[in-house]
Structure 1
Amino acid sequence: MSLASQIEFLRRLKNARLVNGLAPQAIDSPLVETSSFGSNPGALRMWSYLPPGLPAKAPLVVVLHGCGQSAAGYEFGAGWSTLARRYGFALLMPEQQKANNPQGCFNWFSPEDIRRGHGEAASIRAMVEQMVRAHKLDRKRIFITGLSAGGAMSAVLLATYPEVFSAGAVIAGLPYGVAHNVRQALHAMMSPATHSGPELGDRVRHASDHQGPWPRLSVWHGSADRTVHPGNASQLALQWLDLHGVPAAPSVDGTVDGQARRQWRDADGTVVVESYTIAGMAHGTPLGVADTGERFGAPGPFLLEAGIASSYHIAKFFGLTGRIHLAADAEPARKQERANSTSQSAPNDQFAQHGAGRRGIDVAAVITKALTAAGLIK
């Protein structure tokens, strides 16, 4: 991220407070915490947002943050509450606790957390049930998305509870079942093995008794990602193509906002899998201006200006953008957020944040140190 973007990001979070010493919770965040939501074997925290005037039977979007981020920090950067207000859906944002993972990552590789009815997967499922019951949401329109470890955990939820979700989106994540300990996780991130479609598909089929239909999936990955190898995107798409019984050759191969997008359709013509490759982008969520001319979110660590608004396009893939709930954003702070989000953010890699051998006063290093202390980056 550029120095100017770091300064602007810190300015907007200058009144933040620490939550469990893990990451900043911006005081203007619309998220509200629910302390009790039934079984919580994964010991996660539950944050949510319901736009004003939300109708009955509204959709629900579950959003999982990446490592070193908080629910509010990722929501702020990816712009999900703005999208929820605009298009009228409820927002659920589970949050990892430092006691579970020192880096604030969801444990997408831990056997006790990626099984149906166990650990973090079961906690998130309980949160979904709490939201649906408490706010009378539409069980047929529940979706999930996440970045990095949150993306990999989104794949876990889609695999272990496929009957719950209509569709999902994984950003810079990995397929389900490719790792069951830290060593395997690091190997899969840096040098993913090549598996066949049936082998990958079986890992999902064995995760539950579900026989289909399967959730639709949108895959996003930067071509220059050195944290999670882009090969994982291909393997993830292949996993879900096998589940849907769709040939590996894409139905449509084109571009959106200058970025490569492949789509696979089933026999009925429905797009069941799509995959975006963001040219030259490192590890993070791609940001840009949506088709509507609006900008959702703001650049920050692992929230990268890429000329394409991933959150908006994911909401569109979920089928949520057809009807406007609120024609204009009612919160001045969010208007200012979009106005202040025009600065360019260079490709960012978590291993490139720490300079070596610097001398004298290095402003960028001071800001990086502050971001690290806040838990925004490692």
Structure 2
Amino acid sequence: MPTIPRIDMTEATRLTREGRLDEAMALLQGRARPAPDPAPDPAPDPAPGRAPAFRAGASRPIDMVPPAGDPTGPWTAPPAKPPAEPPAVPEQLRALMGRMTGPAGLDDLMPHLRDGLPRPVPSGRADLPPGARFEERSFANAAGARPYKLYVPSTFDGQPLPLIVMLHGCTQSPDDFAAGTRMNELAEEIGFLVAYPGQTQAANMQRCWNWFNAADQQRDRGEPSLIAGIVRAVMAELPVAEGRVYVAGLSAGGAKAAIMGAAYPDLFAAVGVHSGLACGAARDMGSAFAAMRQGGGPDTARHGGRTRPTRTIVFHGDRDGTVHPVNADEVAAQARAGLPHQAEVTRGRSPGGVAYTRAVHRDDDGDAVLEQWTLHGLGHAWSGGSPAGSYTDPLGPDASREMVRFFLSDGGSDEAGA
């Protein structure tokens, strides 16, 4: 991997706020910045008896503090001021970073940028609409215990609602994922429940779902049993519409969503996989890295472990440097098993300017069983997400809204909003 230069986020932020986007982008990508404007003429010498004028960029002398009580004592330097808070990164700069591609793209720069970015804003109680609930719960069984958060919209009055289960990616949390995907806002607008299972650091140091472990790919064992148990706990507590439970995830969470769809086709009516991998793409840590680089291989499509296909919607950036885009094709191959390979292909561009290709596969009844979105120029991030959460690209098509449309249409309507 090429050496990545350290990034001066304060300077990039300043350039962006001044409208100097070309210079900000050059700084983020490690290129030479355009030549700065010529320095102004130095200030004239001051008149006798007057203090010198300070020029922009000139160093200022340190004011000294006179001695207290004893006029003959030494003057001292003032106490050091606490370090200033890092400046907030403007949304325009975030958009620039989200559009960077290639070896110096956002995926490779993320470890260097993370310290300069504001922390994700949790979806706390203070931000909830009146009457809505976003509560933390826990579920345990023989495989262990996992926390989860449950969003109940303010419109809920006892009627059965659909349930969407959202599985976060590595280093993320339920709050972070809720903020980045804005799924709670859609739940409030449309009317459904959202559950966010949380991976623990004890189970994985990076809080990744262990999609690559053979023991965590099987029905009623390991992590699948915990996630299914969370779903059943919600169904026991609240009225969930029959046959309207769905699961979606990003990256490791997307791979785990594919596993859940394969292991529990009787529980999940549809699956959303964003920047993830197919069920069975890996069986251990070594094969996991190989699958992320080059896919799980030709046998992946035949080892989903399903008795029947589960309706699936797939999103993947074609410049993803973390999970190779071939994995999206393998997820799609599992989902369309037994279906004709012909697809209805449309192309478009999101309001943020990101081009995409969308392929829809139908069954013999004409229902959309598989929908695959290829996001041109995007890296490893939730398309159309909010910068309040991590690993999002606000300029892409709104993956959250498109997944909800696909889930709730039950195959009947396939009109995308992008």
Q: TM-score, normalised by structure 2?
A: 0.65
1: CA distance, partners of 2:369 / 2:339: 9
2:407 corresponds, among 315, 318, 321, to 318
The residue number in structure 1 matching 2:293 is 190
Q: Secondary structure at the match of 2:89?
A: helix
Distance 1:280 1:217, change over 3 A: same
Paired amino acid for 2:348: T
Q: Deviations over 1:92-115 (max 9, x none)?
A: 000000011011101001122221
Q: Secondary structure at the match of 2:196?
A: strand
1: CA distance, partners of 2:396 / 2:388: 12
The residue number in structure 2 matching 1:252 is 345
Q: Secondary structure at the match of 2:197?
A: strand
Paired amino acid for 1:219: V
Distance 1:53 1:40, change over 3 A: farther
On the 8 A contact 2:168/2:174 being kept in 1, the answer is: yes
Shift of 1:124: 0.4
Distance 1:193 1:159, change over 3 A: closer
Instruction: Check if 1:287 corresponds to 2:384.
Output: yes
Q: How does 1:24-63 map to 2 (within 5 A)?
A: 28=126, 31-35=134-138, 37-39=139-141, 41-54=143-156, 55-63=158-166
Paired amino acid for 1:170: V
2: CA distance, partners of 1:173 / 1:286: 13
Q: Which of 156-165 and 304-313 deviates more?
A: 304-313
Shift of 1:29: 6.4
Shift of 1:166: 0.8
* Structure 2 alignment gaps of length 5 or more: 1-6, 14-86, 92-115, 129-133, 411-418
On the 8 A contact 1:189/1:228 being kept in 2, the answer is: yes
On the 8 A contact 2:345/2:357 being kept in 1, the answer is: no
2:333 corresponds, among 238, 242, 250, to 238
Paired amino acid for 2:403: I
Shift of 1:202: 3.5
Q: Secondary structure at the match of 1:92?
A: strand
* Structure 1 alignment gaps of length 5 or more: 17-23, 289-296, 322-378
Q: Deviations over 1:62-87 (max 9, x none)?
A: 00111011110110111010011111
On the 8 A contact 1:173/1:232 being kept in 2, the answer is: yes
2: CA distance, partners of 1:25 / 1:112: 33
Paired amino acid for 1:224: R
On the 8 A contact 1:61/1:144 being kept in 2, the answer is: yes
On the 8 A contact 1:299/1:305 being kept in 2, the answer is: no
1:222 corresponds, among 299, 317, 332, to 317
On the 8 A contact 1:158/1:168 being kept in 2, the answer is: yes
Paired amino acid for 2:331: L
1:272 corresponds, among 369, 391, 400, to 369
Distance 1:193 1:91, change over 3 A: closer
Distance 1:44 1:225, change over 3 A: same
On the 8 A contact 2:216/2:223 being kept in 1, the answer is: yes
Q: Secondary structure at the match of 1:140?
A: strand
2: CA distance, partners of 1:282 / 1:11: 18
Paired amino acid for 1:287: G
2: CA distance, partners of 1:256 / 1:274: 17
Shift of 1:239: 1.2
Q: Deviations over 1:150-203 (max 9, x none)?
A: 0000001001111111111100000000111111000000112441xxx44442
1: CA distance, partners of 2:126 / 2:170: 22
1:303 corresponds, among 392, 395, 398, to 392
1: CA distance, partners of 2:237 / 2:389: 33
Q: Secondary structure at the match of 1:233?
A: helix
- Over the residues paired in the alignment, what is the CA RMSD in angstroms? 2.6
2: CA distance, partners of 1:275 / 1:171: 10
Paired amino acid for 2:370: V
2: CA distance, partners of 1:193 / 1:105: 18
Following superposition, which runs of at least 4 residues in structure 1 exceed 6 angstroms of deviation?
9-12
Distance 1:47 1:98, change over 3 A: same
Paired amino acid for 1:142: V
On the 8 A contact 2:274/2:314 being kept in 1, the answer is: yes
2: CA distance, partners of 1:238 / 1:182: 23
Q: Please identify the structure whose Cα radius of gyration is greater.
A: 2
**Larger RCO of the pair (alpha carbons < 8 Å, separation 6+):** 1
Instruction: Check if 1:133 corresponds to 2:226.
Output: no
Paired amino acid for 2:401: Y
Distance 1:141 1:280, change over 3 A: same
Shift of 1:204: 2.0
Instruction: Give the number of equivalent residue pairs.
Output: 294
Shift of 1:52: 1.6
Paired amino acid for 1:41: A
The residue number in structure 1 matching 2:303 is 203
The residue number in structure 1 matching 2:89 is 7
